[in-house]
Structure formats: C-alpha cells, structure tokens
Amino acid sequence: MRFWEIGKRNLKEIYRNPVLLGFLLGMPVVFMLVFCSAFGQGTVEPVRLSVVDEDQSQASAAFVESLERIEVVELWGEVYSEEAWAKEDMEAGRISLYLLIPRGFQDAAAAGQSVDLGVVYEGADPMAGLRVKPVLEAAGSQFLGMPAPVNVEMKGVESKIENEIVNFFAPGIIVFGLMILISVTAEVIAADREKGFLARMLTTPAKPWEFILGYSLPFIPVLIASTLIYLGVGMAMGLTIVGNLGHAFLIFFLTGLSAVGIGMIVGSLIKSESQAAICWVFIVPLAMISGAWWTVEAMPQGLQNFAGGLPFIHAINASRSVINGVPLSAVMGDLYWLVAWAVVLFSLGIVFFSKRMVG
C-alpha cells in the first residue's frame, strides 16, 4: 500500500526531528508543569453568579443588592427561592455557579452568629467557585459588619477532584498542545513542497488519494500519542479524570483533527518551511481567547462571541466538563461544533493539499 509507505516515511520524519518534537511535546508539557504548579490563585473577573435566596428576608435581599455593587461579580438571571430550581438550571447548562443564602440568614445576622453561605459550582469550572469564595467572604463581612462571620462552603458538583486548579488548567493546555499540530502539519507539508520531495514522489505512479492519506494519516498516531503524553503529565501533576476518559479522548481527537486540517491548509498555501512560523501568530491568540489558560468571562462579549464561533473554545469547555464528570450528553452543543469544524477543516485541508498536486 503506497499510502502506508508515504505515511510511514512522514511519521519517521516527524519523530526523528527533535526540533519538531520539542515544539509538539516540550512546550505543552512545560506549560502544564508551570501552570499547574505555579498558578493557584486565578483572579479572572467578573464571575457570573446566580443566587438562591431561601431566607427571603429583608436582610438577604439587601445582601443580594450589595453583591450587585461588586465589580468582580455579575449577578446572573433571576434570584431563585428554591435551590432545586437552581440545580435544575445548572444541570441544563443555563447556570454554572450559584450562591446559596440559607434559611435563618437574617436571624443569624441579627444575633451576630456566623452564617454558612453555600457556593455551588458546576464541576467543569471549579476556578469560578474558587475565585468567588474570597469575594463573597469579604462582601459578607462588610455587609454584616463583623469580622469573618461568613463560612463559605465550596460544594463542587464533583467531589472526587483532587486538585481543582490542575483540573482547570490541564484540559486547556492539552487543547493548546493539540493546536501546535497546526504548525507541525504545515511545516511537514511546506518542507516537502519547498524541497521538491513531494514533486519527486509525484513522478512515481502513486495516485493523488494515496498522497492525501499518506500525508494526513501519520498525524493521527501523533495526535493520539501527544494526547496520551499530555494527559500523563497532567495526571502526574494531579489531574483527576472523574468523567469518562474515552469521551475526553473523543473531544481531543476531534480537536486534533481540526488542527491537522488547518495545518494542511496552511502548509498548502505557504511557500516555504520557514513560513510555517506564521502559525504561531494565530495559535497563541486562539488559545488565549478560547480560554486555554483562563476563563473567557473576563473577555469583551464581542471577543467571546468570536471565540464561540471557532472550535477550540468548545474543545476546552467540553473537555473540562467531561474530565470533571459531566456526562457527554450535557456537552453535546460543544461536541456538535467540534464535529462540524473537524469535518469542514479536514475536508478543506484535503482540497487545498490536492490542488498542490496538479501541475
């Protein structure tokens, strides 16, 4: 099988190239080590906070009103009177974080007793819960005029997560790592075009479809191996896979396929191997606006909408959710985007690459 021979050759050219491997594996691994070990205090704001007011008192209403004045918190939706409704909305994906003001809030405040406020967050975004805790503690103290009267209990949907920070960062960095495949794919294709190797192979009786397979299939083991290595390093740093690993892998696979598709397009358009560096002009900003290293709520709405139209934000959201225990059915919206983008980008990659085989 000719495509197999071309694929084998391309795979050897990748894994025998230390610079390419350094980029593909080294950079995300270093990011994983740095982010997971160094960043424990994410402070991206504002956080969309819903409120469940079970006390339904003047004091609780005034407390909610005081929260509106806090810049770092954006009150989201109507104030619930029953926690069950908030839970229902959270399960439906309409809200991701809510503050629970328990019954007896007004009485406890009047008696100068401490009050247990609850913060419930979706497992997919523990950072939001972590960020909002000190804000609510400060707001409660200020409102009640007492030193530290508020005990905020963090109640993540999934309690099996050992290190919430790592579980937040790792999926984003894995998606960033897979985005590096854009540059790697572009470089491999552009190098063979620039140096004439592709032309030389085109003087053999191999058919165009054999070249297409030979130049796209090798990236599949590369993306699988990369994902396994990223996950391995993440787990060594404390990543807890609470959900279904297979589902997470599916999301990463679709992400990688999109990246390879973009790489094939870029590799077919640029004229030299060195021009593949242009990929970095959009890989890093794309990773940023997709929330690889922070939550996207802090970004202007327009930028959020723009990022929402691209595949990577969906990959990051879906993989965070699935890894933290959210069922795949709850992230189908993100998954549909990913499947659509993977099909479109990979198909376009094939079209652009095919055009380079015509004299």
Partner 1 sequence: MDAIETTNVTRKFNGLVAVAGIDLKIRKGELFSLLGPNGAGKTTLVRMLCCLLRPTAGTAFIMGHDITKESFKVKGLIGVSPQDTVLSERLNCWENLSLVGKMHRISSEEVRECSKELLQTMGLMERAGEQVKNFSGGMKRRLSIAMSLVHDPAVLFLDEPTLGLDPQARRAVWEHIALLKKEKTILLTTHYMEEADSLSDRIGIIDEGKIVALGTPEELKRDFFTGCGMVIRAEDIPVGIMQELCGRYARVERINGGVEISHGELDFHEVVEYLFSRGVIVSSATLKQPTLEDVFIQITGKKLRE
Provide, rounded to whole angstroms, the least separation between the CB of residue 210 and partner 1.
Answer: 9
Q: Does 224 sit near partner 1 (CB under 8 A)?
A: no
Provide, rounded to whole angstroms, the least separation between the CB of residue 206 and partner 1.
Answer: 5
Site string for partner 1, 9-28 (x = CB under 8 A): x--xx--xx-----------
Provide, rounded to whole angstroms, the least separation between the CB of residue 3 and partner 1.
Answer: 10
Provide, rounded to whole angstroms, the least separation between the CB of residue 200 and partner 1.
Answer: 5
Site string for partner 1, 234-273 (x = CB under 8 A): ----------------------------------------
Q: Does 354 sit near partner 1 (CB under 8 A)?
A: no
Q: Does 2 sit near partner 1 (CB under 8 A)?
A: yes
Give the one residue of 27, 33, 146, 202 binding partner 1; rule: CB under 8 A: 202
Q: Does 355 sit near partner 1 (CB under 8 A)?
A: no
Q: Does 87 sit near partner 1 (CB under 8 A)?
A: no
Beta bridge partners of 98: 50, 120
Which part of the chain contacts partner 1 (CB under 8 A), choosing from 123-131, 151-159, 201-209, 280-288?
Answer: 201-209
Site string for partner 1, 179-198 (x = CB under 8 A): ----------------xxx-
Q: Does 88 sit near partner 1 (CB under 8 A)?
A: no
Provide, rounded to whole angstroms, the least separation between the CB of residue 195 and partner 1.
Answer: 6
Give the one residue of 94, 103, 160, 207 binding partner 1; rule: CB under 8 A: 207
Interface with partner 1 by CB under 8 A: which residues? 2, 5-6, 9, 12-13, 16-17, 195-197, 199-207, 359
